Amino acid sequence: MRMRTTAVAAVAVALSAALAVPAVAAPSDTGAGTGNTTAATGTGDHQATRRAMKAAVAAGVPGVTATARDGRGTWAATAGVGDLRTERKRSPQDRYRVGSITKTFVATVLLQLEAEGKLSLDDTVDTWLPGLVTGNGHDGTRITLRQLLNHTSGIFNVTADEDFGRTYFTKDGFLEHRYDTLTPEELVRIALTHEPDFEPGTSWNYSNTNYVLAGMVIEKATGRPYGEEVRRRVIDPLHLTATSVPGTRVSLPRPSSRAYSKLAQTATGPTYDVTRLNPSIAHSAGEMISDSEDLNRFYRALLSGRLLPREQLNEMTTMVPVDATRAYGLGLMRTTLSCGVAVWGHSGGIHGSVSEAVTTKDGRHSLAFNFNGDWAGSTEAVVEAEFCGD
């Protein structure tokens, strides 16, 4: 599915391409940066996944870390390097920015609030954020919370704004503005300078603005920041010790690798270390940090009903078709692979970090991985290899 992007905003593979099935790299046996895989830990050989990870590194991804869990147990491996300067390898325990995987956490909290009777997904945006979504054809009195979560609101995608792209995704803009703090209100105001993509409920288009608004609704409904609700309702109960909502914190917790970007619409040219940045640029659409083991635990718990009552889980998994193989629910994507297996989860990208976390609907087979470069490699190939390979 081609996301709505402009020439400049296309550089933002992290935020605006969050629906693209991520590219993952494979473990490496010997070399740093050579595409060889490091010794894997756990059960099963996952040879097809190893090869796909190696291919990602050979295509230019600095390094990949992946963890899978199935009936044989847990398997983890890495490929390539976590630091281009020192050639230090990636670690299965690496924390990384997960980009739009944040959206599943946000949708889960809103659905929990619905289950508790604190709101309804059929409430309008204006009910909770009166007067905010208005202008240039946008009308929050006609957009429901459900339409925010399944991207049928028609609200313009803030990361597709050309000035936003120049300021935060190109080399000169990013290097000057990487530590800027943006409020969710500022992000929404940028989006509302554009006309809607379509009338609410009449089509589908991925928009990060939807989830910025969803985070604001959580705060209005609970009286607490959305990140605090995510911690209280999801992170702490599941003991996701590597998962955090950083707010304006610019650093990554350790252990972690460096993150790299070309900061341009090219796979050639200089490579920049973009590890340190202020993630308020993404807010509740994509600011979170996690690791592969935590992401697998989260999606298994979610799909197995540990986080939501049956009614709300059914709502979350009610899909809007995106293309021939993908459909989108409430913060959750279903992809049908070439072998017929359907996987559920989300992909995510933010500067220098491309991630994927998927599981079968019964939670018995899950995979999460991360590329620490945003210009090369096929995440789709890694997912296909894990679920359809040898």
Instruction: Dig out the tokens for 132 from the structure.
Output: 């905010």
Going through the chain in order, the beta strands assigned E by DSSP cover 41-42, 63-70, 73-80, 96-97, 134-135, 138-139, 260-261, 272-273, 289-290, 320-321, 326-328, 333-336, 342-350, 353-359, 366-371
- Cα–Cα distance, 224 to 250 (Å, whole number): 22
Tell me if 43 sits within 8 A of 75, measured CB to CB.
yes
| Three-state secondary structure call for residue 373 | strand
Residues 333, 336, 338, CA angle at the centre, nearest 5°?
Answer: 145
The answer to whether the bond into 321 is cis (omega within 30° of 0) is no
Which residue type sits at 376?
A: A
Tell me if 92 sits within 8 A of 367, measured CB to CB.
no
Helix axes 208-222, 184-191, angle to 10 degrees: 140
- Quickly count: other Cβ atoms within 10 Å of residue 339's Cβ: 9
| Three-state secondary structure call for residue 378 | coil
Helix axes 47-59, 379-388, angle to 10 degrees: 170
Q: Where do we find the tokens 């599941």?
A: 238
Tell me if 370 sits within 8 A of 24, measured CB to CB.
yes
DSSP state of 244: B
**Residue 3 burial by Cβ neighbours in a 10 Å radius (0-12, 13-18, 19+):** buried
Active site residues: 100
> Left, alpha or beta for 283 (phi > 0: left; psi -120 to 50: alpha)?
left
